[in-house]
Amino acid sequence: MEQTALGIQFNETLAALEEALQALTVALRAEQGLPAELAQGEGDARETAAQVYCAVEYDDTQSANETISCVGAIAATPSTLALAREINGLKDRLAATKKEMDKHFVEHPEKTGVSLSLYAYHLRFNLHRPRLHFVQTKRRILVLDQYPYPPKRIGLVMASSDRKIQTLSWQAVHDRLIRRHEAPAVAEALDVLASLPRDEVFAHVQDAAPHVRANIAWVHSDRSITRLQRRVSMPLLYPHKEGEKPVLTGPRLGASDRVERLDVKIEAAPLCASHRIYRYLPEYREQKKRKSEGSV
């Protein structure tokens, strides 16, 4: 029953989101005379922004996990800003529903012994929308409506690439691997894992792709300045005021070279390459285990 309710909630929220995105496209076109600027590319900034906002599915040119990004600044009326806020709320609700669906697993209808998360199953076999790009779908639109006038300056800079490391328990690693135990490399990793202490913790390495950050500054009537920094992947929206628009600068594009860390704490060879799971170096294992136990 809970799984059915989650599926219905996901469907209703996704439908409401896509309807609202179409309404945002209409609103952006209706405000064609207001300022709009993209950091790169040519063509109509508002049409491009609408296409990026509405890109909830993979297109034919995208590879797995690749996202469509475009940064810029679009002036909007209060009603359009309010619509964008509503869209962000729907995106948050959809992400929360998916998170709950990911806690449930369903047997694959075509492969014996293989299970899928309820979200993956629902997308493929109930909704029949395997090309839904959830990373793009859940991205929030940056709405700069804190003040009834636009920022003075928006500086776009490319943030350096980095990686995040999540500490996992033995059981958590086992649970992740067992879902794909039929793959030879995963089966081998499971054998190695079985020989290791049950209280050992492991490192799950996740690359954080290079991204654009917006450094935003407002200058108020008393000459005071408010600053804000936010990550952006889509054109941001700000309130229109006649005769005023922000100075848009940047971004400096291109990933910077990664410098090897001096405090390496994980083994060079992964326990399981496909899942990006590593053992900590011996000198860090007890330390990481105590820290993990203390956070429970």
The more confident residue out of 295 and 111 is 111
Kindly report, residue by residue over 88-133, the tens digit of the pLDDT: 999 999 999 999 999 999 888 888 877 889 999 999 999 999 899 9
Q: Does the pTM of the predicted model rise above 0.75?
A: no
Mean pLDDT, rounded, of the chain:
88
The more confident residue out of 254 and 99 is 99
Q: What's the mean pLDDT in 137-143?
A: 97
Kindly report, residue by residue over 273-282, the tens digit of the pLDDT: 878 899 999 8
Helix, strand and coil in the chain, % to nearest 5: 40, 25, 40
Identity at 165, one-letter amino acid code: I
pLDDT at 253 over 60: no
Q: Where are any strands of DSSP class E within the chain?
A: 36-38, 72-76, 105-107, 115-117, 153-159, 162-169, 201-208, 211-219, 225-232, 236-239, 247-249, 277-279
Give alpha helix (H) positions in 31-164: 45-53, 78-101, 118-121, 134-138
Pairwise CA distance, residues 92 & 12, whole Å: 14
pLDDT at 265: 86
Report whether 74 contacts 36 (CB < 8 A): yes
Report whether 235 contacts 72 (CB < 8 A): yes
Report whether 134 contacts 65 (CB < 8 A): no
Report whether 87 contacts 141 (CB < 8 A): yes
